[in-house]
Structure formats: structure tokens, C-alpha cells
Amino acid sequence: MNEVIRWSAFGCAVVPAVLLLCGSPLSGAAGAAVGLAAVTAASRCLLRYYERAAARLDAGAASPHRGRHGRTGIGTHRGGRRN
């Protein structure tokens, strides 16, 4: 994820510079920089959210919750029938 964010930040810096070199007005280049920065920030937030969600799913699969007292199923109660 960090590499994607770094490339996005690089794009946020390069695009306005190229626009200025090509003769675009300063306000247009600044608007492009702000727009790209907003998209980068939103993408970063979404990536972090889904990485955390995936980590929670992986952790939940490794150790399933067994309930309040940790019993595994019917018939394991204390004082149950014994054969």
C-alpha cells in the first residue's frame, strides 16, 4: 500500500509542474494538484480501512469465538449424560 501512496504523491507533484510547463494557467495547475491530493487522501483512507477489515477477518478465522463459557457444543455440559 505504501508504494501506491508514494506514487500518488509523486503524481500530485508532477502533474501541476507539467501543466505549468505546457502553458496552463497557475489556477488550473493548482486546482489539479488539489483534486489529485483529495483523491489520494480518499484512496489512502479506503485502503487502510479494507486492510484492517481483512486483518480482522483473518484473525477471526484463526480462533473462532466459542461463546460465553467456551463450550464446544451440545453434550459437553457439566453434569450431562455419561455412557
Q: What pLDDT is stored for residue 71 in this prediction?
A: 59
Which of these, 78, 46, 21, 71, lies nearest to 29 by C-alpha position?
A: 21
Q: Which secondary-structure segment (H or E) carries 22? A: none
Would you say the pTM of this structure is higher than 0.75? Answer: no
pLDDT in tens, 5-47: 888 889 889 999 999 999 999 999 999 999 999 999 999 999 9
Q: Phi/psi zone of residue 64: left (φ > 0), alpha (ψ -120 to 50 degrees), beta?
A: beta
